[in-house]
Amino acid sequence: MEAVGKEEISVEDEAVDKTIFRDCSQIAFYRLSSCSGDTGSLILADGKGDLKYHISANPFMIDLVSEKEVVMSINSLGQLYFEHLQSSPYKQRATGGNEESASADSCQENQEDLGLWKEKFGNFVDVKANGPSSIGLDFSLHGFEHLYGIPQHAESHQLKNTRDGDAYRLYNLDVYGYQIHDKMGIYGSVPYLLAHKLGRTIGIFWLNASETLVEINMEPAAEYTLTEVGPTAAKQKVRSRTDVRWMSESGIIDVFLLTGPTPSDVFKQYSYLTGTQAMPPLFSLGYHQCRWNYEDEQDVKAVDAGFDEHDIPYDVLWLDIEHTEGKKYFTWDKTRFPNPTQMQELLRSKRRKLVVISDPHIKIDPDYSIYATAKEQGFFVRNPEGGDFEGICWPGPSSYLDFTNPKVRKWYSSLFAFSVYQGSTDILFVWNDMNEPSVFRGPELTMQKNVIHYGNWEHRELHNIYGLYQAVWTGDNTAEWSYLKISIPMLLTLSICGIAFCGADVGGFIGNPEAELLVRWYQAGAYQPFFRGHATMNTKRREPWLFGEEHTRLIREAIRERYTLMPYLYSLFYHAHVASEPVMRPLWVEFPNELETFGVEDEYMLGSALLAHPVTEPKATTVDVFLPGSNEIWYDFKTFAHWEGGGTVKIPVALDTIPVFQRGGSVIPIKTTVGRSTGWMVDSPYGLRVALSTKDSAVGELYLDDGHSFQYLHQKQFLHRKFLFSSSVLINSCADERGNYPSKCVVEKILILGLRKKPLSVTTHSPDGKDQPVVFVYCDRTSTLKLEKLSLNIGADWKVHIK
C-alpha cells in the first residue's frame, strides 16, 4: 500500500511492506520513523509529524491521523479479503483420484455452481483457469460527505450512496445510447476517487485493471444524548463518515492514498503517479466536424467549402470507418477516396487537418498485409487453446492486437510513419476507437475474460487498460436534452481524474436534435475542452448551416467565441501539462471552503477566471446561476454587468445567450480577430480582458509556443508572460525566463472591467523609457475602459498607466 503526500518518503519495515510519500514540486526522500508501538501495533510519522499512521496487527487496521484527527481508516469494517490460489478441479479430474479426491470433486462442483471456477453469460462460458481470485478492502473517510470520481458513468458528479442500489461498476463497455443516471460501466474506467470536506481533500487510487465494483455508504453527522438524566442532558455530535468498499475480480491490492490536503495537492500527487496531461497541439482545441460517415472526396470538399461560405471557423474534419477499403485500417476506399493526398492538400491550403479512424481489431484476410504480418509475428490476443482469438467487429471476423506486448506497440506505431501509411501527409491524424475492446459477439459485447495476453495474463486481469493510451470522451450519447445536461457532470468527473482533454459529441450521436437543442449544445461545447460535432450514419445531416439562417448565426457566434478564447485555453492546457490543473473544473475545486459549491454540477469553471452555466432546458427564459465567493465580483462576459459573489442570480436568457462570467481579479488573453482556423490566427493580434477585483487588482498569464512541435520542451522555445493590474498600472512581464520564442503578435486592445471612474489620461511605458498617450473610451453605465489601436508587443515588457 502506498500513500502519497507532501513529502517523498520510503520505508521498509517488518510490519509495513512499503509506504511511499511523493511530492510533485520537489523530489526529496525522507524516512518514516517509528514513534511508538509494541508487538501488536506501530505508529509511523513523517519528519514534520503532520501525518501519522497508526497500524494495528490484530485486528489489522490502519488509521491515517492528521493533527490528532483521524482522516481515514483502512479495514476498520474488516472487509479486507483476498482469494487463495487453488488447484484447478479440472486437472484433478484428469488425473483420477480416490474417495478423498471424489469428495473434493463434489466440493468443486458446488463451487462451479456458484460460478467460482466456471461462469456462464448467455452462450458464453468463462472457465477461470486460476479459480476465484477476487480481492477487496474497505476505507472509512471520517468527516467526508462529498465524494467524486471513478469515471466513467452517466451519473451525477457527486457520487451517490449505493446502500440501497447498485454499486458503481468499472468495466469498459461500448454501450450504444447508454442509460443516464446509471452506475453501469461504459467506455472507460479510472479507479480513482476524491473525497472533499471543509479544510481537506484526499484521494484513493485503487490500481487494478480487472472488473471492479465500488460500494459507497454515507453516514451523516448526528447528535446523541450521553445521558437521559437531568434537565441538561449532555449531547455529543458524531462526525459524518463515508465508507468506501473496493472489490475487484482479480489482481493484487495495490492502493495509493493521496493525502492532500488541498485539491491542487491531490491533483499533483495523482499526476506524479500517472503522469500529466500531454500538451495538445493548438489546432486540436479548435472545432472538429465529424460524421459517420462523410461519403467521399466530393462530400469532404463540399463540407469544407460550407464552413467558408458561412464564415464559420473549424480546424479538423474527421472520417469514420467507411473511408477504408473493406474496413481494413490504414487503407483508403479506392472508389470513394481515390486521391487522399490531393484531398489533404485542399485542407492544408485552408490550414486545416484531417482525422481518420483506426480500431484495434484487424480484419482476418491473408491478403491484408497488416493482418498477415501480425499473424506471422504472433501479435494477436490468443484464445485459451493457444490460437489467435477471433471476434466479430466492423470488418466481420477479426483478430485483436495485443497492445500489452511491447513489440506490438513498437510495430503498430511504425504503421503511422508517412512513408508506410500510404496516402498520408503531415496534416493527417488518427482517431483511436472501439478499444473497450468492442467485440460484437462477445459477452457484453466485449472480449472474453479468459483469452490470453502477452506474458500469459488473462484478459480478466487487464480489461480496463486495453485502451489505456487512447482518448476518452462521453461515448455514444443521444440527441436529447437530458444527455446535454448529464454531459456536464460526466466531463467534470473526467477532468478531476486527470483527463483534461475531454468532451461530448455535440448535438448527440444518436438521433436528430431539434434546432434549439443543437444551438444550446454548441454553446456548451464552445466552453469545454474538446469541441466536436458528431452523428451516426442513419441521422439527418446536421452541418451548422442546415437549420436556417438564424440558427446558423447562433452556432457561428458560439464557435467564433471559442476561437476568440484560444490563447486562454492553450494557457490552461499548459498548466494541465505541468501541474495537472484541470481545465474544466467543478466549483468546489476553485472554492474548496464554500460548502454551497460542493454539490453544484450544472455550471463549472473554465480555468480559474471563467464560470460557464450552459442552458440545458428547452425554451428557457431564465437560469439560476450560483456565483461563489463572498468577496468575489463577477462580470457578464458579454454585457459587462456585474454581481457580488456568494449567492444565486436569476439571469434572463434568450436563444443567443450563453451565461458566462469573468471572475474579478483575472486577466484573460484573447484573439481580437477570428480566421478560418487556428492556423490563420497565429499572427493575429491579442486583446486583454482585465476584470478588476474588489481590491481593484487583477492577474493573468499567457503561454505561447509554436503549437505543434516539441521545441518548447527540447529547445525552450516558448513564451510565458504574466499580466498584473495593481495601483492603476497594467504590467506585462516575463513569467519564465527560460523561454525564448519570438512572436510578431501585438496587443491591440485592452478592456478593463470594474473601473469606477473615468481616468484623466492613459499612457503606455516601454523599457526604453518612451511614454505614449493612448486614446480611450470610458463607459459610466458599465464601468468599462476600452483601449484600442495599441501596438504593444506581446513578448516585451511594458506598462499601461491609468491616471
Positions marked catalytic? 433, 436, 476
The DSSP line for 260-277 is -SSHHHHHHHHHHHH-PP
Cell numbers describing residue 613: 452555466
Q: Which one, of 563, 575, 568, 588, lies nearest residue 492 by Cα?
A: 588
Cell numbers describing residue 705: 509556443
Secondary structure in 3-state letters for 163-232 = CCCCCEEECCCCCCCCCCCCCCCCCCCCCEEEEEECCEEEEEEECCCCCEEEEEEEECCEEEECCCCCCC
Output DSSP code: residue 802.
E
Could you give the angle at the alpha carbon of 419 between the alpha carbons of 413 and 421, nearest 5°? 60
Per the omega criterion (within 30 degrees of 0), is the bond before 261 cis? yes
* 3-state secondary structure (DSSP) of residue 588: helix
Q: Is 771 exposed, middle or buried (0-12, 13-18, 19+ CB in 10 A)?
A: exposed
Cα–Cα distance for residue pair 45/65, rounded to 1 Å? 9
Cα–Cα distance for residue pair 774/760, rounded to 1 Å? 11
Q: Which residues, 6+ apart, have CB-to-CB distance to 26 below 8 Å?
A: none
Cα–Cα distance for residue pair 712/268, rounded to 1 Å? 21
Secondary structure in 3-state letters for 545-581 = CCCCHHHHHHHHHHHHHHHHCHHHHHHHHHHHHHHCC
For CA atoms 7, 8, 13, 19, the dihedral sign is positive
Q: Is 232 exposed, middle or buried (0-12, 13-18, 19+ CB in 10 A)?
A: exposed
Q: Which helix (H) or strand (E) holds 655?
A: none
CA dihedral 329, 377, 459, 106 (to 10 degrees): 140
* 3-state secondary structure (DSSP) of residue 360: coil
Q: Give bridge partners of residue 395 from the DSSP assignment.
A: none
- Taking each helix axis as running N to C, give the angle between helix 340-349 and helix 297-309, from 0 to 180 degrees, rounded to the nearest 10: 10
Q: Which residue has the cell 459610466?
A: 780
User: SS3 helix, strand, coil % of the chain, rounded to 5?
Assistant: 20, 30, 50
Greatest alpha-carbon pair distance for the chain in Å reads 104
Cα–Cα distance for residue pair 81/465, rounded to 1 Å? 23
Separation in Å, CA 67 to CA 71, 350, 501: 9, 60, 37
Cα–Cα distance for residue pair 760/732, rounded to 1 Å? 22
CB-side neighbour CA atoms (13 Å) of 653: 24
Question: Distance of alpha carbon 275 from its chain centroid, rounded?
Answer: 13
Secondary structure in 3-state letters for 146-175 = EEEECCCCCCCCECCCCCCCCCEEECCCCC
Cα–Cα distance for residue pair 174/439, rounded to 1 Å? 9
Amino acid at 260: G
Separation in Å, CA 788 to CA 730, 762, 767, 782, 801: 15, 11, 21, 17, 15
First to last CA, the chain: 60
Cα–Cα distance for residue pair 332/328, rounded to 1 Å? 8
